[in-house]
């Protein structure tokens, strides 16, 4: 069990640029989640995959956000035309059915 | 909508003492799970303890135990013999299952300081 891996750990970008984050879940986990965490807050749900199917998207996920999980393995989260309000920690987690979530270290995004 | 409330933004405890972190939740589901996660400054969220709502017995993991009051929708975390390494943000979370999708809803967290 190598844990959930996220890349990069930090990303600084200028407003209006596109960014993409990657998450590698624990290999046998079929569920994968993206959460966003802003300073002083708990994680907020963004989206969820079971295998390669994206089963739920939060209203927080505007049209500028897109997530994929091709072949049910790693996942990417892309933010287009970034805004300063997108600055946050983006957390990825994976799990088996009805099992606790295992989180990665997160990607901290700063939009200048 | 399901909500999780942590009413203590910050708590402090002396090393070796006991501290209790509070959490209340609101859900209309009958089958759910409750969790406490710890997030140290290194920022990775780590599972501390998990409680299944249908189990009346309170969960225990070494120095960590919960007081689960289902009728009151209360789920507090007790840390005994506090250690310096327990210093972190603690998040209470409740699982939601809708249409085959399962996710966690988190509270805003309690920052725990452990004083030597």
Q: Look at B107 and A97 and tell me if their CB atoms are within 8 Å.
A: no
Q: Look at A98 and B102 and tell me if their CB atoms are within 8 Å.
A: yes
pLDDT of residue A1: 55
Copy the structure tokens of residue A89: 């920690």
* Helix, strand, or coil (residue A49): strand
Q: Look at A89 and B43 and tell me if their CB atoms are within 8 Å.
A: yes
Cβ atoms within 10 A of the Cβ of A25, count? 26
Copy the structure tokens of residue A32: 């994968």
pLDDT of residue B99: 65
* End-to-end CA separation in angstroms for chain B: 41
Per residue in A60-93, is it b (16+ CB within 10 Å) or e — as a string? ebeeebebebeeeebbebebeebeeebbbbbbbb
- Which residues in chain A are contacts of B103 at CB distance < 8 A? 33, 45, 48, 56
Task: Kindly report the length of chain B.
Answer: 116
Element containing residue B83 per DSSP (H, E): none
Contacts of A16 by beta carbon, 8 Å cutoff, 6+ apart: A81, A82
Shortest distance, CA B44 to any CA of chain A (angstroms): 5
Q: What is the pLDDT along chain B (116 residues), one digit of tens a residue?
A: 789 999 999 999 999 999 999 999 998 887 889 999 999 987 789 999 999 998 889 999 999 999 999 999 999 999 999 999 999 999 999 998 776 677 899 999 999 999 99
Interface probe for B, chosen from A23, A101, A102, A105 (most Cβ of B below 10 Å), is A101
- pLDDT tens string A42-96: 999 999 999 999 988 888 888 999 999 998 899 999 999 999 999 999 999 999 8
Which residues of B sit within 8 Å Cβ distance of A?
Answer: 4, 33, 35, 37, 42-47, 50, 91, 93, 98-109
The C-alpha angle with vertex A86 and arms to A72 and B88, in degrees rounded to 5, equals: 80
Shortest distance, CA B45 to any CA of chain A (angstroms): 6
- pLDDT tens string B91-114: 999 998 776 677 899 999 999 999
């Amino acid at each position: 069990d190598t844990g959930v891996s996220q890349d990069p750990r930090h990303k600084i970008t200028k407003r209006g640029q596109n960014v993409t984050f990657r998450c590698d879940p624990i290999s046998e986990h079929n569920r994968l989640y993206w959460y966003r965490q802003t300073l002083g807050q708990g994680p907020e749900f963004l989206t969820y995959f079971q295998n390669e199917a994206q089963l739920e998207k939060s209203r927080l996920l505007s049209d500028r956000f897109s997530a994929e999980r091709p072949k049910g393995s790693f996942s990417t989260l892309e933010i287009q035309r970034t805004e300063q309000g997108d600055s946050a920690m983006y957390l990825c987690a994976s799990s088996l059915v009805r099992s606790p979530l295992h989180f990665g270290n997160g990607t901290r995004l700063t939009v200048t | 909508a399901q909500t999780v409330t942590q009413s203590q933004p910050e708590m402090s405890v002396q090393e070796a003492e006991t501290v209790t972190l509070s959490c209340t939740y609101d859900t209309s589901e009958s089958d759910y799970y409750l969790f406490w996660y710890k997030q140290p400054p290194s920022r990775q969220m780590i599972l501390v303890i998990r409680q299944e709502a249908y189990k009346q017995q309170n969960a225990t993991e070494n120095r960590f135990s919960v007081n689960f009051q289902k009728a009151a929708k209360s789920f507090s975390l007790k840390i005994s013999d506090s250690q310096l390494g327990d210093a972190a943000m603690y998040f209470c979370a409740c699982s939601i299952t809708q249409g085959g999708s399962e996710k966690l809803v988190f509270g805003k967290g309690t920052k725990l300081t452990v004083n030597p």
